[in-house]
Amino acid sequence: MWKLKSNVYNVSKQALEESLYMIGNGYLGVRGSFEEGYATGESVRGTYINGLYDRIPMVHAEMAHGFPTEQDRQPRVLDTQTCEIWLDGEQVHLVDGKFTDYHRTLDFQTGETIRTYRYFTSTGKSADISFRRLASLAHVNFLLYKIEVEFDGEIELISLCDTEIENYSNPNDPRIGQGHTKLMRLLSLVGYDQVVYASMRTATTNIEQAVAISHKILHTLYATLEHNKHEGKLYTRIKAYGRVGLEKKCVFTDGLRFSSPLDRARELLEKYDAYDYDAFLEWQIEFLDEFWYQSGIDIQGDADAQLALRMMQFHLLQSVGVDRFSNVAAKGLSGEGYEGHYFWDTEIYILPVLQMNQPDKAKDLLSYRHSILPYAKERAKQLGHLHGAAYAWRTISGIECSGYFPAGTAQYHINADIAYAFIQYFLYTDDELFMAEKGFEVILETARLWMDLGNYHNGTFQIHTVTGPDEYTAIVNNNYYTNAMAKYHLYWTYKMFKLLENSKHESVRHLFEDLVARLSINQGELIAMKTASEKMFFLYDEAHQMYAQDDTFLTKPMWPTDVPEFSYRPLLLNYHPLTIYRHQIIKQADTVLAHMLLEQYATEDDIRNAYNYYEAITTHDSSLSTCIYGIMASRCNLNDKAFEYFNESLMLDLKDTHKNTKDGLHMANMAGSILSVTAGFAGLRISEEGIVLRPQKPMSWDEFSFKLNYQGRLLKVTIGNEVKFELLEGDGIYVKVWDRMHFVEKNKPPVKAVVFDLDGVLTETSKAHFEAWRMLASELGFEVPDKLEDEVRGISRLDSLEIVLAYGGLNDRYTLEEKNDLASHKNELYLELIKGYTPDNLCQGAVSLLAYLRESGIKIALASASKNAPFLLKAMAITDYFDAIVDPSSIENGKPAPDIFLKASELLGITPGYCIGVEDAYAGIESIIAAGMKPIGIGSKSVLSNCGTVFGGLDSLHNFLINHLI
């Protein structure tokens, strides 16, 4: 349930799988195109940088004042994916009859894609080919590829740096860019030795984008490498025989973030020159271990939902911007749908997910909105407003990029959506400083627009000529969603002013005083906003006992569903907008969404009646719709319907139900599916009164759990037959479940000791052990494979010797005495290799972890199978941290028997059940389990498949122990 898998290559799903198997890290994204290319079929071979944009003309058939004349578009940047493969002069392409054993995976625990198959040439010879790639989450400028080919013949790899790139265009779909596809122009392209450097510049905005690419040849001593350049394409040709591998390390930079992108790319490539693909993979695993610990949602009893949900969480992680220059495009970094534009999707769908588990990323996205506030203020003037800010409906740099104003610019609710996100961030974090620095300025300036846009009529504050979330009903008066969000927005503008004005923090008050002076804020303006909020108009329909979507919506005829000519979907691609606008037909949740976000403005009956009425006339032509109707079905106790909607939104991309996943994944739907679990099945709401839950577990699930980061606390919520809480970090807190308050406080398990293995845990000596065994084998006349390193990890010297001798077929050649001599000789070789060890050879985080355990009163023991352990501890200056060191000669059976860990427990005088054992080897984990201790692994989950808790390094283990066990 941690991997998206495909064992069939289907050319008709080629472009779809490019989206599903994309990789990214929030800064850059790469579609899952085949490195070796395709023989046929549709492909969008794209690589994208978040926040990078060019500007293209926007032409209107009939121009009017305030219409935008240009728009942002996210350019496809130069292509580093391509690596052609030639076998005995024949190019490799996957066509029927030419390959077998096709496998493709996207691993959510390692963050890499792996693709393998066996290929057959026209002469009948076979080749085993594998492709791996990852976009580093720890070092976001890096994209890495690893390609390996084994073939009894001549192999040629042609790695391509392609600057002749253009964006995708589809004139028949308004959701895709149309024309103006050549957005980048070449500045420089050179290759020498094993490195390629390239730089380009956006055609009109002149933003530079650069790449540095290194090529490392693997598995062969006899290979040639040469560079050839032709018309904006640079070919790096590698020729070998029998077996060859290629690691491509690509560094992407851009002129938004760096003053000299090409120089910075070169510097980063040189800085990390010594680190190979596997090193980046280790960093990736450590990053993802922490991510899943903080954010993972676990479902018991529904493997399909678990897999799909993890895929969605992972893809959101890959596409969410990582700095103030970027946000989250509608298609993330997975495709070119909606031209890379950011919408309200971020604030209403994606930010609620991030605020639960990744508050720092939420803060970055809100900082982006603050950074483009000047554009919003300028846009307000263009629209004829004397005061305030009007955020662009769709944008990258901040300018309005919507050419069809009834379904774009008229959606003024984006102002309140952005303000709502800032307010939710404050409720989650209580971060007054951020609100004083950035948040309140955005909230105030956008609130000023409501005062300029709205007007009083019959004693009520009304907002006219707007479009709500339902884009099938445009330019209306008093759209319920817009008015409700504006009401909340205006209320909180006054409230936030008072909170900051009376802050207990002097730094906050000083910042706020400066802001008040700079923005010319006065009490009268704030009181007027508060009054407008209190007087906000909502049209209530007595006949239906619910709030009307707008002033005229309920007066329109229903869509003629019984007429064949009106049966085509989606409506926006088949009918004139005016035909749609004059009917009661809804594209996506509108009033129902308002009831989800602001349920305090309606009664339970109002909410239920609105749901039943509006749900029946909603087409769900927007991918943002089914998840909201599912969440509100839970709210209305319609549990079967909620689960149906959840499954529909869950499969939207996996089954391509909207038939446009090839243009990119639907980020808001993915976030909405996650919210279907937390806000829907768990009934989670965050308000001024704190955390509220109304759980409605699906009947087919045994239980589910999720984490919640709230005001310095990390809370785990598990919902099964009952609701259970575990406070993992922070102080105790009250949580409301339905109408009952629960106080949740931290319950620390009784951990009294930690027992460590040495090799591979506190210091990395496994490579020295392996090298010593390799040297011994060579002296005996045979070679051992690389996998031996894992096979002998954590077991005794004599047991390791038996494995080594087996590779040479020499198991029965030596007596026990001779084997002891061989083992001693191997140890001499090993000691020679490690005699120079110092504290610098400790694994990262070892000293700080040991010091923390000592300060916490936790006993520490060493349970290493190595008789050299005391020597190593002394050499690395950590002997004094240990309360007990097991001599392996004092135990009868080595790992995986429990003897060594039981001996450590005995020396410490602590029962095994109160001990944690830390190991990097499968056999060692077995030993810990058999001893009755809690096992924790260091290394790879694929190797330590017998361990439930595995970390990539000691820093992550340190955090885990602080937050969970000690």
- Active site positions, annotated: 471
Instruction: Assign 507 to helix, strand or coil.
Output: helix
Strand (E) positions, 863-924? 884-885, 915-919
Strand (E) positions, 88-223? 90-91, 99-107, 112-120, 126-135, 142-162, 184-192, 195-202, 208-218
- Count of all residues that appear for the chain in the document: 966
CA distance linking residue 467 with residue 410, whole number of Å: 5
Closest Cα to residue 794, out of 825, 826, 770, 821? Answer: 770
Q: Which residue has the tokens 């606008």?
A: 581
* Number of alpha carbons in the 13 Å side-chain half-sphere of residue 443: 31
Q: At what angle do helices 303-319 and 667-675 cross, to 10 degrees?
A: 130
Closest Cα to residue 72, out of 242, 325, 276, 281? Answer: 325
Question: Burial level of 616, CB count in 10 A (0-12/13-18/19+)?
Answer: exposed
SS3 of 173-184: CCCECCCCCCCE
Alpha-carbon separation of residue 710 from 21, 147, 259, 359, 734 (angstroms): 33, 44, 38, 9, 11
Q: Which residue has the tokens 């330590």?
A: 944
Angle at 144 between CA 143 and CA 146, to 5 degrees: 160
Alpha-carbon separation of residue 259 from 29, 207, 255, 690 (angstroms): 22, 10, 6, 44
Q: Measure the N-to-C terminal CA separation of the chain; round to a whole number of Å.
A: 30
Contact 860, 753 (CB under 8 A): yes
Contact 147, 245 (CB under 8 A): yes
Contact 773, 779 (CB under 8 A): no
Question: What would the DSSP string read from start to end of 694-759?
Answer: -----TT-SEEEEEEEETTEEEEEEESSSEEEEEEESS-EEEEETTEEEEE--------EEEE--B
For 655, other C-beta atoms within 10 Å of its C-beta total 12
Q: What phi and psi, each to the nearest 5 degrees, are found at residue 726? A: -135, 115
Torsion of CA 564, 567, 568, 573, to 10 degrees: 110
CA distance linking residue 957 with residue 951, whole number of Å: 6
Contact 42, 662 (CB under 8 A): yes
